Chains A and B, each alone.
Chain A
Amino acid sequence: MTRLFQTLLLTFLVTASDLAQAGRLERVLGAGEVRVCIWPDYYGISYRNPKTQQLSGIDVDMAQLLARDLGVKLRFIDSSFARLIEDVTKDRCDIAMFAIGITPQRANKLRFTRPHLVSDIFAITSKSNRLIKTWDDIDQPGVVVAVAKGTLHEPVMREKLKRATLLVTTTTQGREQEVEAGRADVFMTDFPFSRRMLETTDWARLVAPTKTYHLTRYAYAMQRGDDAWHARIERFLSDARRNGQLLAAIKRHKLDPIATQD
């Protein structure tokens, strides 16, 4: 049994290293398809409209441009922040493109592109919530702050909150539900998601930090150790920067307030 396991493991490792040696770029070109991880709930980034099942958002646009640039077909793989590292390292996709905040934990496991967006943390509360008026009301005794597991907000808020109670939900819908039902007072999210809340619900209220709270830069993530693939992606991105495609996509999805200044 142990022996068999070892053999299997060895096989897997060999295969993985073969793949690595063969190079993802050659593999993608050889397969004629690039697999892109997205989180389909990420409004403005990679959002699947539940009514039409159509994807939209800056990174959907960018993924399409990438596929065109590589000259291959595009396949979207649904993922989430909770599953991100596993999906990428386990090779479920060639690249994750859903405005992934660069955090130390992720940077240890994944390789990031040069960031193209940068967002602070925002809080969403219920319109009728009488406790939370300003950002300073958040970290107070008795206040419940919800974050979704696996998001960059989870470690940040865990560290930052001193008096309030942190409620970690397993799903991102969970945190919205907790706040709407009044079990939590606020949930923490980023700029794109906060805009989705304001535009699609009639109960959400935005609480913005009075000064910079915690800036996170967003980029695309891929496996570590494949320089050629990373260089290819960076070249695609720098071309898109130079020829204005990136900025056009950012503006199309009204994300210019958080575009990086370059």
Chain B
Amino acid sequence: MLIKRGFSRRSTFALVALSVALSAFAATAYGLWQLRVARIDSQLESAAMIVRALEDHLTQNFNVIDRTLANIADQPISNPRLSRLLHQAPYLRSVVVLGPGDVVSASSNPANIGVRLSRNDFLPQAEAPLDMLRVGRLRLGRDFHAAREISPGGVAQSISFIPVERDVQLPDASWVTAAAAVNSDYFLNFYSNHIAAAEGKVQLLRYDGPLLLCSDEGDRLGSDTASRTIQTRLQQSEAGRFEQNLSDGRAVFTAYRASRVYPFVLVVHLDKTHGLAAWRDTAVNTLLTVSAVLLAAFALASIYFIRFERSARAHELAEESLRTLSMAVQQSPVSIVITDPDAVIQYVNPKFESITGFSASEVIGKNPKVLSSGEKSSVEYRDMWQAITAGQIWKGEFHNRRKDGTLFWEMASISPVFDAQGTLQHFVAVKEDITERKLADEKISELNRDFVSFLENTSDFVYFKDNNSRFRFCSQTLADITGHASWRDMIGKHDLEVFPPDTAQIYFQEELPVFETGQPILGKTDPYFDAAGNPGWVNTSKWPLFDEAGQVTGLFGISRDVTERIRSMESLQLAASVFTHAREGIMITNAAGEIIDVNEAFTRITSYSKEDVLGRNPRLLNSGRQVKAFYEALWRDLIEYGYWYGEVWNRRKSGEVYAVMQTISAVRDGSGQVRHYLALFSDITPMKEHERQLEQIAHFDALTQLPNRVLLADRLLQAMSQAHRRGQRLAVAYLDLDGFKTINDTYGHDAGDQLLITLSARMKAALREGDTLARLGGDEFVAVLLDLADISASLPMLARLLAAAAQPVHVGAHVLQVSASLGVTFFPYQAKLAGKNRYYVFDADQDRSLRGYHESLERIRLAMQRHEFELFYQPKVNMRTGRVVGAEALIRWRHPDQGLLLPAAFLPVIEDHPLAVELGEWVIASALAQMAAWRAAGLDIPVSVNLSARQLQQADFVLRLRALLAAQPDARAGDLELEVLETSALDDLVHVSQVIEACLEFDVRFALDDFGTGYSSLAYLKRLPVAMLKIDQSFVRDMLSDPDDLAILQGIIGLAAAFRRQIIAEGVETVVHGEMLLRLGCELAQGFGIARPMPASDLPDWITSWRPDASWANKPAVCRDDLALLFTGVEHQAWIVAIERRIKGERDFSQPIDPNACNFGLWLNSQSVGRYSALPAFQSVVTVHQEIHRLAASLLELHASGEHQQALAGLDKLHQLRDALLEELKRLLPNAESSEDT
């Protein structure tokens, strides 16, 4: 019904709109037609006006032409005169005068003379002379002489002219004919300027029809087809206007007019399309305007109509929906209450009645408070009122009371209803009874609270996950170890997000089968990391969760920390394994001391099996070597400290005695009661034996088994203190065997050794128990006699000693006999030598034989007191890096009389004197003081100090060194290096290596000085823990010319590298030395080529200013393959030296002179040069080498033939060539060129 009403409204509207539009268009069309008629009239009028104006111009111009020709009669006729007529006459091309036979006789253009003009061609025609202008046919061409006829059909437009002529009566009454070529372009220009091509065109016709000119270029000249209509009209009227369609189809307004005087007709065609263009524009504009106005009106009407129709529809729809709504409210399953703005109930629906028990009539007109149970606070009501009076929708719950008094819960939504002006009209409350839901919710909440409490308090890891292994919830412990504040933060997360990658993979992977098969995993042990990141173990079970259809929807799991259990299990296993496999014997007893367990090592060491000892007391192991007090002390420690540690001698089952290092511990339980004793022991019998042997070696002479120098010193010290204590005397007898060397030489060392063994035993026997006989070495012995009341008490014993030494000895078939010399001194006196087979008692003060020696000693001692010694320092550098790595301290004596003395001048004097030790210590102390001073000044220079053999052999050297270091706390021990001569180190390898090791403990390092001179074997070098080898300068100095020295040097450098010892070259005197050392791989160096020793004060400045030679930087060590090249260069130099010596007559020359036979030549011809042969320098090497040999051969010849001076003079050239060859050789080395350049 709604649709039908709408349709009839629309059709009425359409009919009205259509009729209005039709009327408007009809009126407009009539008006426009009237306008068009008027416009056509005005166009025809306009064409007529133009043609009148053009005709006037034409006639005037021809009047002028007529007058010009007529004036010829006034002047004598000549060509220049005719030319003058053309001035300011652009309408004329030329003027001519005709002579007899109508032939041109004079002309402004002489070319025209002789041309004939036919009188008949001109209009009007006249046989007799006629006093007026006549017009000829149009001619093509510029002038009479070039004129061409035009065919009747006409021609395309080109240069043309209109001939005219007139007869002129001369003053003598004779007639002459003048003619002119009229410039048709002149008129054409004029017409073109008046009518543009688009507007139309102008035609000039001769009166009899032919076209003379046309502003439209397309029209053909001379043709009369275009003028036929005009010809017809001319018969009616000389001028006229009309509409026509031209032959080319163009519609035009035409006006024509014949000249008043001359036989011309002018025609103007105005283009109709162009002429009506303005009208057309007007028409179109008008129509558009009318259409636009109509359209606008229609649009407005439509809008208005649509609005009207829409409101009508809305009204109809509103009625409809109101009816529907009313029905919905009535039947609503929720209760609906409508009140007025004062909350007075105006309507309730049937559901309200059924829920509350109140009928509508009972509540209408009342406040909804009738339902209130009173449980809702007044604050809540106030908030509700504020919300709804402010225009908001309020939602909330009410706890209300039914009519029968029972309570119920309602969910309510109360909306304010406003009218169009915004005035509050009603409140609508929609309410639902939620009592049942409320009760159910409370039960679930209670369950949730319990469950949450469980999750937050259980110590196990409990978790529920969905089927994507994402946490739904979990216990707080799990959150704790994964770094989450609350377990709620874990919800939705995946194992891979919360656990470390390794364990996460395990947890996640193990769950997959649960999801797939629905089978739980039970009691699996997994690793995990606790909150602190410590690894641990959990025992995990996971069960699937199913939905109603039996599909797995997730899982829950419990993981319990079992780290402690697993740890203790592991440590038990470990303990058992240690127990079983320990190298040490282990024995466990109970508190009563009965053995309860032993391990395999126990059985191996004691040879008692486990079965033998179980239940027994460990006493069965006793050897009986320990006294009772030993065991008492053991038990005392055990009880007091809980452990005992010491060596015990035990007895094996076989009865054999052995030593063990044993630890016994008491194992207590929690209450401190001893539960077990645990004994660990290792067999140290071999160690003991070894110790004894070492002691023997260290303190006894291997040959005679007498105490050696070391033990002697020890015994002597003891004896001296004892003698001092007891106030007794002590005799020290020094004894050597006279003639022993002869026996050695005569009978051999074995015999000598045998003699020594026998005599030692006899001499020892000659002494008392407690006295000491020691062998110092060779045939030297020392006897220490104790407990002497006075000097004389020693004499019998000394006599016995001499006698024992002098007794013959049978060695094989020989009877050998020697005598002994003996010197003796008494403590506190000193001893000195005596003669053969006798003793001599003396004291040092009486000695005069070495007075000079003593004086010199005194002078040195004095020099020390006067501080005349000082230290110079020679820098040690890294040649490649340019770094100063240290300095060597060198002693100098600033002698008041002799000036600065080098050590060679005074050290030998004190070499074997204690003063050497004193001076040596002064050197160390001074060096340390200097180091401390430099350090204070910010300079950190390691310093090396030379150590004399004597100083090194001091028994307390290490102690004294420590004291010196302690006295200089600002110097670093690590910066001190002690240089020991290789020879002195080898003298007493054992002692020296001990000292070195002891010093290493407090960071003082050693260097072997003059290395290479002592013939160290590899084995020795291995045993000497020195940090640095100092290559003796003799090798360095000669390496450039002595292949042997170079080979030794290379060997030393290789040796150092093999033993990982640093190496430094001494005696670097030139840049070339340095280069060669770098080539060989030795980077550290000292020597005059770098710096001379200098006073300490000069060193800092030197360090600042020193730069290594440029050729050293980047000089790489050559590879093994290039070594031959280095050697061959040195060999060549040696060869040159040999030549030189021969020439100088110093020595014969025995080297090959053939360039292929010398060492260099052999190398050149060998396979090994293949690697260089492609290099550009190689060919020059070969060439220069051959040249050297040629020169050498000739020099030798000169020398041989006695021309010594000449031969000597050739040496310079030889040296030049040698240097050139060496330069070329360098260029064969890798990087040689770049290193030269840089």
A residues in contact (CB < 8 Å) with B: 126-131, 144, 177, 180-183, 185, 202-203
State whether A177 touches B87 (Cβ < 8 A).
yes
Chain A's closest residue to B90 (CB) is A180
Contact A202 B87 (CB under 8 A): no
Chain B's closest residue to A179 (CB) is B90
Interface 9-residue window, one of B157-165, B234-242, B868-876: B157-165
- Would you call B158 and A182 a contact (CB within 8 A)? no
Q: Are the CB atoms of A128 and B189 closer together than 8 Å?
A: yes
Q: Interface size of B by Cβ–Cβ distance < 8 Å? A: 25
**Nearest A residue to B181 by beta-carbon distance?**
A182
Q: Check A127/B159 contact, CB under 8 A, given A181-B90, A182-B142.
A: no
Which chain B residues in 72-108 approach chain A with CB under 8 Å?
A: 86-94
CB within 8 Å for A130 and B157 given contacts A177-B90, A180-B90, A181-B92: yes
Q: How far is the CB of B1201 from chain A (nearest CB, A)?
A: 89
Question: Residue B185 contacts which of A126, A144, A202 (CB distance < 8 angstroms)?
Answer: A126
A131, B189: Cβ atoms closer than 8 Å: no
Say yes or no for B834: interface residue by CB 8 A criterion.
no
Are A181 and B93 in touch, CB under 8 angstroms?
yes
Q: Is the Cβ of A182 less than 8 Å from the Cβ of B159? A: yes
Interface string of B177-221 (1 = CB under 8 A from A): 000000111101100110000000000000000000000010000
**Are A182 and B185 interface neighbours, CB within 8 A?**
yes
B143 within 8 A of A: yes
Residues of chain A contacted by B88 (CB below 8 angstroms): 177
Flag if B189 contacts A203 (CB, 8 Å). Answer: yes
* Residue from A130, A144, A181, A185 in contact with B183 in the complex, judged by beta carbons closer than 8 Å: A181
Residues of B within 8 A of A185 (CB): 159
Residues of B within 8 A of A126 (CB): 185, 189
* Chain B residues, CB < 8 A from A129: 159, 185
Chain A to chain B contacts (Cβ below 8 Å), 13 pairs:
A127-B189, A127-B192, A129-B185, A130-B157, A130-B159, A131-B158, A131-B159, A177-B87, A181-B90, A183-B94, A183-B109, A183-B142, A203-B189
Q: Which residue of A lies closest to B141 (CB)?
A: A142
Which single residue of chain B is at the shortest CB-CB distance from A176? Answer: B90
Per-residue contact bits, chain B 1152-1169, to A (CB 8 Å; 1 contact, 0 not): 000000000000000000
Inter-chain contact A202/B93, CB cutoff 8 Å: no
Q: In the complex, which residues of chain A have a beta carbon less than 8 angstroms from the beta carbon of B193?
A: 127, 202-203
Chain A nearest CB from B1228 CB (Å) reads: 68
Residues of B within 8 A of A177 (CB): 86-88, 90
Known contacts A177-B87, A181-B90, A183-B142; is-contact A130 B189 (Cβ 8 Å): no
Query: With contacts A130-B158, A131-B159 known, is A183 near B93, CB below 8 A?
Result: yes
Contact status of A144 and B189, CB under 8 A, knowing A131-B159, A182-B183: no
Q: Chain A residues near B87 (CB, 8 Å)?
A: 177
Residue in A127, A130, A144 whose Cβ sees the most chain B Cβ within 10 Å: A130
The CA of A114 and the CA of B588, in the complex, are separated in Å by 128
* Docked CA distance A174–B506 (Å): 116
Interface centre among B90, B94, B158 (most CB of A within 10 A): B90
Tell me the nearest residue of chain A to B92, going by C-beta. Answer: A181
A144 to B186, CA, bound (A): 17
In the complex, chain B residues whose CB is within 8 Å of the CB of A181? 86, 89-93, 183, 186
Q: Which residues of A contact B159 (CB under 8 A)?
A: 129-131, 182, 185
CB-based closest 7 A-B pairs: A128-B188, A180-B90, A203-B189, A128-B185, A182-B183, A181-B90, A128-B189
Partner of B217, one of A130, A144, A183, A203: A130
Shortest B203–chain A CB gap in Å is 14
Q: Known: A130-B217, A181-B86, A183-B143. Is A202-B189 also a contact (CB below 8 A)?
A: yes
Give every chain B residue within 8 A of A202 (Cβ-Cβ). 189, 193
Tell me the bound Cα distance from A85 to B87 in angstroms. Answer: 28
B91 neighbours in A (Cβ, 8 Å): 181
Q: In the assembled complex, which residues on chain A have CB atoms less than 8 Å from the CB atom of B188?
A: 127-128
Q: A residues within 8 A CB of B184?
A: 182
| B89 partner residues in chain A, CB cutoff 8 A | 181
A183–B86 alpha-carbon span in the complex (Å): 11
Per-residue A-contact encoding for B140-168, CB less than 8 Å = 1, 0 else = 00110000000000000111010000000
- For the complex, give the distance between the alpha carbons of A144 and B142 in Å: 10
Q: Which residue of A lies closest to B183 (CB)?
A: A182
Q: In whole Å, how far is B657's beta carbon from the nearest beta carbon of chain A?
A: 126
Within 8 Å CB of B186, what residues of A?
180-182, 203
**Nearest-CB distance from A215 to chain B (Å)?**
31
Cβ-closest chain B residue relative to A129: B185
Q: How far is the CA of A180 from the CA of B192 in the complex (A)?
A: 14
- Alpha-carbon distance between A130 and B781 when the two chains are bound, in angstroms: 153
- State A181–B188 Cα separation when bound (angstroms): 12
Chain A residues within an 8 Å CB radius of B161: 182
Q: Nearest chain A CB to B213's CB is how many angstroms away?
A: 8
Residues of B within 8 A of A203 (CB): 90, 186, 189, 193
Q: Nearest Cβ distance between residue A198 and chain B, in whole angstroms?
A: 13
A182: which B residues are within 8 A, CB to CB?
93, 142, 159, 161, 183-186
Chain B residue contacts of A183, Cβ below 8 A: 93-94, 109, 142-143
Q: A181 CA to B183 CA in the complex, in Å? A: 6
Give CA–CA (A130, B186) in the complex, Å: 13
CB distance from A158 to the nearest CB of B (A): 21
Q: A182-B185, A183-B109 are in contact. List 4 more A-B contacts (CB 8 A).
A: A177-B86, A180-B183, A202-B189, A203-B189
For B92, what are the chain A residues with a Cβ–Cβ distance below 8 Å?
Answer: 181
Q: Please, how many angstroms separate the alpha-carbon atoms of A185 and B93 in the complex? A: 12
Residues in A with CB closer than 8 Å to B158 are 130-131
Most buried by B among A131, A177, A203: A203
Residue of A nearest to B161 (CB): A182
* In the complex, chain B residues whose CB is within 8 Å of the CB of A180: 90, 183, 186
Q: How far is the CA of A120 from the CA of B90 in the complex (A)?
A: 28
List the B residue with the shortest CB-CB distance to A143: B159
Cα A183 to Cα B181 in complex, Å, equals 10
Chain A neighbourhood of B94, CB < 8 A: 183
What's the minimum C-beta distance from A201 to chain B, rounded to whole angstroms?
A: 9
- A183 CA to B186 CA, complexed, in Å: 12
Docked Cα-Cα span, A177 to B89, in Å, equals 8
Closest CB-CB distance, B1001 to chain A, in whole Å? Answer: 95
- How many angstroms between the C-alpha atoms of A241 and B195 in the bound complex? 47
CA distance A44 to B91 in the complex (A): 28
Chain B residue nearest to A177 in the complex (CB) = B90
Q: Complex Cα distance A128/B94, Å? A: 19
Q: Which residues in B have their C-beta under 8 angstroms from that of A128?
A: 185, 188-189, 192
How long is the Cα–Cα vector from A185 to B185 in the complex, in angstroms? 11
Nearest Cβ on chain B to A188's Cβ, whole angstroms: 19
Shortest Cβ distance from B221 into A: residue: A130
B802 vs chain A, min Cβ distance (A): 133
Q: Quote the shortest CB–CB distance from A56 to chain B (angstroms).
A: 24
CA distance A181 to B89 in the complex (A): 7
In the bound assembly, the distance between CA atoms of A182 and B87 in angstroms comes to 13
Minimum distance in angstroms from B69 CB to a CB of chain A = 16
Most buried by A among B161, B188, B217: B188
Interface residues as binary, B723-761 with A (CB distance below 8 Å gives 1, 0 otherwise)? 000000000000000000000000000000000000000
CB distance from A180 to the nearest CB of B (A): 4
Q: Tell me, in angstroms, the Cα distance from A128 to B159 when the chains sit together.
A: 9
Write the chain B residue with the least CB distance to A130.
B157
C-alpha gap A177/B143 in the complex (Å):
16
A202 to B90, CA, bound (A): 13
CB of A41, distance to nearest CB on chain B (Å): 16
CA distance A94 to B499 in the complex (A): 109
A39 CB → nearest B CB, Å: 21
Choose among A127, A177, A183 the residue with the greatest number of B CB atoms under 10 Å from its CB. Answer: A183
Question: Closest Cβ of chain A: how far from B1138's Cβ, in Å?
Answer: 86
B599 to chain A, nearest CB (A): 114
Q: How far is the CB of B746 from chain A (nearest CB, A)?
A: 126
Point out the residues of chain B lying under 8 angstroms from A127, CB to CB.
188-189, 192-193
How far does the alpha carbon of A144 sit from the alpha carbon of B141 in the complex, in Å? Answer: 12
Minimum Cβ distance to chain A for residue B206 (Å) = 19
Q: Which residue of A lies closest to B189 (CB)?
A: A203
